Each structure stands twice: as C-alpha cells, then as structure tokens.
Amino acid sequence: MSAQRRVRGAKGRLRVHAAAIAALALSCGIAGCTATPAPTTASTPPTASTTSLDPAVRAQLEAALDEGFAASGMPGVTVALWIPGQDEWVATRGVSDLASNLPMDRANQSKIGSITKTIVGTVALQVIGDGEAGLTLDHTIDRWYPDFPEANAITVRMLMNMSSGIGGPGQAQLDRICADPYSTITPDEVIAIGASTPREAYAPGEGFAYSGFNTFLLGRILEHSTGTDLGTLIDEHLMEPLEMTRSRFAPDAVLAEPFNRGYSGFCAQLPQPTDTTDWTNHESWAAGAMLSTIDDLHAWGLALGEGYGLTPELRAARIDDLAPGTSAAGYGYGLGVGVHIDPVSECLLDLSHSGAEPGYGAHVQYFAGSGAVLALIGNGDGGTGEEFFKVVAALVPVLPTSVAATSSTACLE
C-alpha cells in the first residue's frame, strides 16, 4: 500500500470538518456584503485530448452555484472545476467592483488568505527534504525562539499540523486590523504577541488548535535556517517552476490589474461593507499574505495534491502526521493542509485548504482518486469570513462520485 495514499496513526478525536477547515481565518459575527448577481460562464472548448463535461453535471453545477452564491451574500465569486481528460468548468457570478458594476473575471487577482499556509508548508517540506539547511521536522523551536513558551517541547512538525498548543490570534487580531488596516507590523512583533497569548489547555503535540502564530514561527524559522527571505523562497521553490505568474507573496497586499476589489463587514465601526482592497497583509504574513487567480489556484491545487518537489517520505508525512485525532467523517489537519480520509479504508479522499482576509475568501481542493481540482475566489466576507464556503458547500454535493469519491479502496489495491 502507498504510504502517501493512506493515513496511519491518527489518535484521539479532533473536531475538524469541511466547514471548519474552510473557515480557518479571522471571523466575527457582523452581517455584511450584499450581492449583485450577474451570472456568466466562461470555459474553453474541448481539445482533441479532452471530452466534454456531461451537460447534466454542468447544469447541476450551475444551479448549485446560483444557490450558494445567493446564500453567501458576496458581491462576486469565481469558481472552477478541472477534471483530467474533460473540458474545464469555470463560472462567475456577481461583480468585482461595486462602484463600477464590473463583472467578475477569471483573470482577476485576489487575496487568498490561509491557502498561503499550504504554500509555506510545502516550501518547508522541500527545505527539510533537500537537507541543505539542516532543518528537520523534529527540531524544537528553542533553537530560534528560546523564550517562547514551551519552546523546548514544540517541534517544527507541531507548528505545521497545529498541534503545538499555541493560542489563536482571535478577536484581538481583528481589532488591530480594524484599528489600523494599513499596519506594517513585523513578523517578530506578531510572534511576540503569540508568545503572550494564553496557550491551549494541553501539552505540545497532544491536541489541535488552528493558529496562524504557528505559521509565522515556521516562516521565520525557514528564513533563519536558509538565510533567504520567505518571499524569495516561495518564488524560487514554487511560483517560478510552477509558472504561477499571477501569484505573489505580498505582505503589502498590492494587487496587480485586473483584480477583484474586496468588501468586508468585519469592522463594525466602519462603513458596511468596507472596501478593503488596499488594506495591507502584514498581520497575515506567512499565514495568509498570498495573492493569486483562479487559474493559478488550479496549478497550485495540482502541485499540492501531487506533493510537488517533496521526497516520498515527506509526501507521506504531510498526510500521516495529523494533529491528534480525526473527526468521525475523516477530516483532520496534516502538515500545512486539511486532510480528508475514508474512515473505513483509511484511504486519502482529498486535500484542501481555504482562506479569508477582510473582504476576500478562497478555497482549493484536490481529489486524490480523480486528480480533479476545485477552486473558488470570492470578494466578500459577510462579516464572518465564512460566507464563501456556502458556495463550496453547495457545489461539493453535486460533484460526480467519479470526481469526489466519498469512500475509496483504490489505495488498498
């Protein structure tokens, strides 16, 4: 059996499910954006090497998108499904700019939030795998941050699977962003805040708590270990070889034309919704500062699913080394990625991650059995950061089982 395709050694119980993984970002209960539906569908015609997407499947996807988009309240959304051997399905709803009423477009760049964690995690595994920096999953963080609470017990592995017990940024981070949307806070200043944040009520490695402080530490450890800044590492290891020319690690959050404007309901003291397009991403840095497009998310979804640039051992470890426990439905958190396994066969079903920044939401999902990729980019947070997932939740149930199997025995063969 391939170790990459089967998850081993999960213990305890971790209450992570699809919606939770999708909403791993800032959130607060503020109602927000309104939508201006403008349905359009864009797709490239089938080539000689592809077959047409089943018209019935296409119709179901379109109807589910209509339903999910209406429920989300976002100004606009772009979604896409790529199935190997079939023509793509790319569709948009709504507008990218409320003032001009310009429709969404697949070429538009957006902030993709916590999907950044999968990129930083992959770079970390590549650096560990090539051995040149001398970094391992079992190094404890006291080598770089000796004064951080429990530093001699927290490992790089625990930072990546969120089992370190470091507390989450929570409402305090949102309050800082709302008070100063153009903050230039440094990574080490954020790490210092993380050090003073109360820990979760378990020892390092014995539980799960999603916290961006983990990825800040991981990013800085990569910089210390390699002597190279994180943006350059991301470019050299991933963006350039994968030709993701419309993606950028961007703490400054400066989007390149054409782009989607973002609309947030997070900050009660500001107009509802607030245009967040030019807000900086320094508060997110390694945990959420990437910009991308729907087509670049396709490239990234494939690379993530296939374990691009990873040794066979580390390709397996990112799936096997889950934070303690998985949900009854088989959802858990691996090394920088959400992992979904079949609880019966223990075969990998899909890998995914979502992200939300004020005014933006995004999702990428790779289906192991089919090699298909589902991606989403939205330009509203609805005041919760989770509104975009209403679209994902509407689409996934209508995906054919040949694309998104709910159970699998393929890895046992």
CATH classification of the domain holding 91: 3.40.710.10
Crossing angle of helices 212-226 and 187-196, rounded to 10° = 130
pLDDT tens, N- to C-terminus, the chain (413 residues):
333 333 333 222 222 333 333 333 332 222 222 222 233 344 344 444 679 999 999 999 999 999 999 999 999 999 999 999 999 999 999 999 999 999 999 999 999 999 999 999 999 999 999 999 999 999 999 999 999 999 999 999 999 999 999 999 999 999 999 999 999 999 999 999 999 999 999 999 999 999 999 999 999 999 999 999 999 999 999 999 999 999 999 999 999 999 999 999 999 999 999 999 999 999 999 999 999 999 999 999 999 999 999 999 999 999 999 999 878 789 999 999 999 999 999 999 999 999 999 999 999 999 999 999 999 999 999 999 999 999 999 999 999 999 998 888 878 76
Q: Is residue 141 a part of any domain in this protein?
A: yes
Q: Is residue 11 a part of any domain in this protein?
A: no
How many domains does the chain fold into?
Answer: 1
- The residue segments making up the domain with residue 308 are 18-412
Q: Is residue 363 a part of any domain in this protein?
A: yes
DSSP string, 189-242: HHHHHHHHSPPPSS-TTSS----HHHHHHHHHHHHHHHSS-HHHHHIIIIITTT
Q: Is residue 1 a part of any domain in this protein?
A: no
Q: Is residue 369 a part of any domain in this protein?
A: yes
Whole-structure pTM value: 0.90
Q: Is residue 67 a part of any domain in this protein?
A: yes
Sign (positive or negative) of CA dihedral 35, 18, 403, 374: positive
Q: Is residue 334 a part of any domain in this protein?
A: yes
